[in-house]
Chain A
Amino acid sequence: MSYDNELYQQVILDHNRNPKNFREIKNATHHCHGINPLCGDDMTVYLDVDPEQGVVKDISFVGTGCAISKASSSLMTAYLKGKTLDEVRIIFDEFHKMVLGEMDPEKQEHHLGKLKLFKGIRDYPSRTKCASLAWHTMIGALDEKTEEISTE
């Protein structure tokens, strides 16, 4: 197992270089600030949710972090755009379980699509929080958390 095809796959390197949805949303309906105090990753996730349909019309992030956290945020925002809030919560739950090694996307049914490329993270326990920071922050935004979300 070598790093350039497990932890740092090309997709991750690409999203790190050119993250998608790396911007603020001016009139966001939801937003939240998340930090990983261990490594200093710091980000804000913005969502624009259609109140009637309960659909994510737009989602974005800004902040600083490692390649894993940036790529995870980028892929998350790309994947969640257009999803319903119910779907978002199911996907969050599955993603969370996958990076902790509690769900194997090769063996179990899931709705993660290409997000399953983060499966390898479970072999790097010191890095799982890098992959999940964006997700926790996104859920914090939907739950209208006013305080900072922290991975610790």
Chain B
Amino acid sequence: MPESNTGLSDKPAIDIEKVRRDFPILSQTVHGKPLVYLDNGATTQKPQCVIERVRKFDAEQYGTVRRGSYKLSEQATLMFEDVRQKVADFFGAPDRKEIVFTSGTTQAINLVAHSYGRKFVNSGDEIIISNIEHHANTVPWQILCEEKGARLRVIPVNDDGELIMEEYEKLLNAKTRLVAVNHVSNALGTVNPVKEIIRKGHDAGAKVLIDGAQSSSHMKVDVKDLDCDFYTFSGHKMYAPSGVGGVYGKMDLWESMGPYVTGGDMILQVTLEKTTYAKPPARFEAGTPPITQVIGLGSAIDYLTEIGMDNIFEYEKSLLEYGTRLLQEIDGLRIIGNAREKASIISFVLDAAHPHDVGSMLDQDGVAVRGGHHCAQPTMIRYGVPATTRASMSFYNKFDELDVLAESIRKVIKLFS
């Protein structure tokens, strides 16, 4: 085990054996081998406390929210709104009403593109994204630009996978309405200098959306400190159930925006002639929300808070350093994305085998990784590869699991060469 895990303080940041016991799925075997789960960038596993919280809620406390005048519903509503407060606290949002629940980041970005974009982006305006975005933070802006006759501009990246900030500055101008970039790239692991991106965007008069799908589970995020206008996240990538996520937005922006999905719960009053909208966040949460999933999200946030985001960041950083060193030693392996600031994601290609074959082969050793374009085809095109294999680590991964990964990769190379 590398020194960095034990060096800094007497107590390791993460009690790995205890943490692993919290995640029942991790103790299973796959094809007769212990599961080595390294697809945390796609989705994360659930700790027992989340599983139990969801079970208990469904078994004993379930009811609709914001509607019923009976005890179950009133209690469920309180618990539901309590999670909104937890999310606000977790991300440093000043007001819980600035948190809108969605089904995840994809819906969150679409919400902003629709409700903010349609209203405030006009013909001739410009929207800036980067070359290393998920399709979820690309396609909604492309469509918006097409509809509005606006122009989509792209921050280029250097060979290591870092945004070229001088080019970003050149792209900004009086026509820039919105900048939308990820905090952490899911395809490469790059941690973008979002604070600087936000400040410069604001200086040019633009609003800035941060796609936090990959940062929310890896580091402490403080939206107030960042001063972003929107920050999106997905529960299933932060140890919570799938089907819930959300977006933080500044209240004055929410108030200026019209609804996205329409229907029940988002109205103040409906007559056959006219509808007036409810206040945020209800205005943006039409229909019955993912109630149980929100409750599970609350439990996941409690769990992450207890472990400590700074501890998670430190531990995952040493995993990244260790894994990077191991993979760099393998002949015929090339890491795509060598930014100075990275989250615990390693994307790589082999001379000998295609990422899809690598994925199937590693699976036989119990190692779960992702092979493909990671919904980031413009990133793949930039680096001249059709796809990569991606190992994305969590604080529940062990150092020796990365040894298993490296060993398994060597076997693939041997078989395919």
Binding site for B on A (CB under 8 A): 2-4, 7-8, 13, 16-17, 38-42, 64-68, 124, 126-127, 130
Q: Does A65 lie within 8 Å of B416, measured CB to CB?
A: no
| In the bound complex, CA of A4 to CA of B360 (Å) | 11
**Do residues A3 and B356 form an inter-chain contact, with CB atoms below 8 A?**
no
B residues near A (Cβ < 8 Å) are 353-357, 360-361, 364, 371-373, 377, 380, 386-387, 415-416
User: What residues on A are CB-neighbors of B354 within 8 Å?
Assistant: 65-67
Please determine whether B357 and A67 come into contact, CB atoms closer than 8 angstroms: yes
B416 & A66 in contact (Cβ 8 Å cutoff): no
Instruction: Say yes or no: A42 contacts B416, CB within 8 Å.
Output: no
* 29 contacts across the A-B interface (CB closer than 8 A): A2-B364, A3-B364, A8-B360, A8-B361, A8-B415, A13-B415, A13-B416, A17-B416, A39-B355, A39-B356, A39-B371, A39-B372, A40-B380, A40-B386, A40-B387, A41-B356, A42-B386, A64-B386, A65-B354, A66-B355, A66-B356, A66-B357, A67-B353, A67-B354, A67-B357, A67-B416, A127-B356, A127-B360, A130-B356
- Contact A38–B372 (Cβ < 8 Å): yes
Q: Which residue of B lies closest to A17 (CB)?
A: B416
User: With A8-B415, A13-B416, A65-B354 given, is the CB distance from A40 to B360 under 8 Å?
Assistant: no
Q: A39-B372, A40-B377, A40-B380 are in contact. Are A3 and B360 (CB under 8 A)?
A: yes
* CA distance in complex: A66, B360 (Å): 11
A8–B415 Cα distance when bound, in Å, is: 9
A residues near B357, Cβ cutoff 8 Å: 8, 66-68
The distance in angstroms between the C-alpha atoms of A67 and B354, with both chains bound, is 7
CB-CB < 8 A to B372: which residues of A?
A: 38-40
Residues of B within 8 A of A13 (CB): 415-416
> In the complex, what residues of B have CB within 8 A of residue A68's CB?
356-357
Give Cα distance in the complex from A9 to B357, angstroms.
12
A sample of 5 more A-B contacts (CB under 8 A), given A40-B373, A40-B387, A68-B356, is A38-B372, A39-B386, A41-B386, A65-B354, A67-B354
**Given B361, B371, B380, B416, which contacts A16 in the complex, CB threshold below 8 Å?**
B416
List chain A residues, Cβ under 8 A from B360: 3, 7-8, 124, 126-127
- Find chain A residues with CB under 8 A from B416 CB: 13, 16-17, 67
What is the distance, in angstroms, from A105's C-beta to the closest C-beta of chain B? Answer: 22
Instruction: Point out the residues of chain B lying under 8 angstroms from A3, CB to CB.
Output: 360-361, 364
Q: Give me the 6 closest cross-chain CB pairs, A-B, nearest first.
A: A66-B354, A66-B356, A40-B386, A3-B364, A67-B357, A40-B387
Instruction: Tell whether, in the assembled complex, residue A4 and residue B386 are in contact, meaning their CB atoms are under 8 Å apart.
Output: no
Residue among B360, B364, B372, B380 having the largest count of chain A Cβ atoms under 10 Å: B360
A2 to B360, CA, bound (A): 11
Select the residue from B356, B361, B373 with max chain A CB neighbours within 10 A: B356
Q: Which of A2, A65, A66 has the most CB of B within 10 A?
A: A66
Provide the residues of chain A in CB contact with B355, threshold 8 Å: 39, 66
Nearest Cβ on chain B to A125's Cβ, whole angstroms? 12
Contacts of A130 in B (CB 8 A): 356
Closest to B417 in A: A17
Question: What's the least CB distance linking B91 to chain A, in Å?
Answer: 33
The residue in chain A whose Cβ has the minimal distance to the Cβ of B385 is A40
In Å, the complex CA distance between A30 and B416 comes to 33
